[in-house]
Amino acid sequence: MTEELMIQGCRENLPNAQKAMYKRFSAKMLGVCYRYARNQEDAEDMLQEGFIKVFSQIHQFKGEGSLEGWIRTIIVHTCINHLKKNKKFTESVSLVYANDVRIRDYSVPSVLQAKQVVECIRSLPLGYRTVLNLYAIEGFSHKEIGEILEIAESTSRSQYTRAKALLEEILIKKKILAKPKKNLKLVSGEV
């Protein structure tokens, strides 16, 4: 089924078109949900809730940009709303980890096994994980994240900074990322 026929069929609430759209995009969108969810059951709930919204709002898709991008936006917002509705975001945004986090100036290498990194991201406290996903992966600005999560822009920035540092620490502990070498400065007179 072509994308145009699938969209038109979904606008007419045709089950075959909805099934085709779900089949085409559900695996990728489950991956998006999985990054926000604490477990697979929550991710599947977010996915189902998201596709219900996709089907009920498909008439708003104007064909500007990709259908996948449009669906992804709805899924991300559904995940955030699911976290807010279940008060999982506000209860888990904790600064308890901030004391042990050292911020460094280098970034995580881009060539890492995706599954291991996703597992490490999922182990972050929910607030850190959510801001990290929204900023680094989904591309939202800190201002937009603040509006979405109903937090201050500065809170988004600090949560992101702490999330990056804590993620780095986790990656080092799991030996996915090498521990950085300390910069040694020569004291005058040393050889």
Choose among 104, 161, 91: nearest CA to 128: 161
pLDDT of 174 reads 79
Q: Please report, in tens digits, the pLDDT of each residue of the chain (191 residues total).
A: 899 999 999 999 999 999 999 999 999 999 899 888 878 898 999 999 999 999 999 999 988 889 999 999 999 999 988 888 876 444 333 333 333 333 333 444 444 456 777 788 888 888 888 898 889 888 889 999 888 888 899 989 999 999 988 988 888 887 777 776 655 454 444 44
- Amino acid at residue number 86: N
pLDDT of 183 reads 53
Q: Are 25 and 7 in contact (CB under 8 A)?
A: no
The two tokens of residue 115 are 């599954």
Contacting residues for 58 by C-beta, under 8 A, at least 6 apart: 7, 10, 11
Calculate ∠ Cα 102-108-112, nearest 5°: 135
Q: How far apart are CA 169 and CA 159, in angstroms?
A: 15
pTM exceeding the 0.85 threshold for the entire prediction? no
Residue 65 gets the label, from left (phi > 0), alpha (psi -120 to 50) or beta, of left
Dihedral sign, Cα of residue 131, residue 137, residue 142, residue 143? negative
Domains of the chain: 3-86 (1.10.1740.10), 91-173 (1.10.10.10)
pLDDT of 44 reads 93
Number of Cβ within a 10 Å radius of residue 79: 27
Number of Cβ within a 10 Å radius of residue 164: 21
Cα diameter, the chain: 81
Task: Give SS3 for 140.
Answer: coil
